[in-house]
């Protein structure tokens, strides 16, 4: 399972997504100098999105025996990561002057890139296996026919 680079990409993407559960999204600076940290888990839509992304990432890792399904789950996870990143970007733009944002706000973008790289690697592996099976099939047909 961990022999392919795409599984490493999926693992890193999952770790980034899970780490957001324990990270702060932003810090609100008060007028008297006090600060209040806002975590991803405190805002219910973010929490639901993170749960959904974590489940999708773990599903992508778990389906390593069925490459076509794994590739499709990777692409779906990448689309979800991109949607989450766009949502975070809109919130960042809307609250730019009120908050100081954490570097974890770009984790979905990094996970999106890793998921796309994993999907590409899975596709390439499947293409190689498919081509090799066709070559073996053609060779068997030639041997049986005597050519």
Give the residue extent of every domain in the chain: 5-145
Which pLDDT tens digit goes with each residue over 11-63? Answer: 999 999 999 999 988 888 877 777 888 888 888 999 999 999 999 999 999 98
Confidence at 132, pLDDT banded by 50, 70, 90: confident
Q: What is the C-alpha separation between 111 and 106, in angstroms, rounded? A: 9
Pairing of strands 99-101, 35-39: unpaired
| Predicted confidence (pLDDT) per residue in 102-126, tens digit | 899 999 999 999 999 999 998 988 8
Helix (H, G, I), strand (E, B) or coil at 27: strand
CATH topology of domain 5-145: Butyryl-CoA Dehydrogenase, subunit A; domain 3 (1.20.140)
> What value does the mean pLDDT of the chain take?
87
Task: Please report the pLDDT score of residue 138 as a whole number.
Answer: 59
Render the burial of 55-77: b for 16+ CB within 10 Å, e for the rest: ebbbbbbebbeebeebbebbbeb
Task: Say which DSSP state 33 is in.
Answer: S
What is the pLDDT at residue 141? 59
User: Residue 53 has which token pair?
Assistant: 């992304």
For range 82-101, the mean pLDDT: 89
Count of residues in the chain = 147
Q: Which pLDDT value is given to residue 19?
A: 94
Start-end of H helices in 4-146: 5-19, 44-62, 67-94, 107-145
Measured from the Cβ of residue 96, the count of other Cβ atoms closer than 10 Å reads: 10
> Can you give the pLDDT at residue 140?
58
């Amino acid at each position: 399972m961990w022999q392919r680079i795409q599984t490493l990409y999926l693992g890193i993407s999952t770790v980034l997504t899970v780490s957001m559960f324990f990270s702060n999204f932003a810090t609100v600076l008060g007028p008297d100098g006090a600060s209040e940290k806002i975590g991803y888990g405190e805002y219910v839509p973010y929490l639901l999105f993170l749960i959904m992304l974590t489940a999708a990432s773990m599903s992508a890792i778990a389906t390593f025996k069925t490459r076509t399904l794994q590739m499709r789950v990777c692409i779906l996870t990448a689309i979800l990561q991109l949607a989450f990143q766009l949502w975070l970007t809109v919130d960042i733009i809307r609250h730019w002057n009120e908050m100081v944002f954490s570097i974890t706000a770009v984790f979905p973008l990094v996970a999106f890139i890793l998921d796309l790289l994993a999907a590409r690697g899975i596709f390439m592996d499947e293409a190689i296996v498919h081509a090799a099976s066709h070559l073996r099939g053609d060779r068997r047909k030639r041997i049986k026919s005597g050519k």
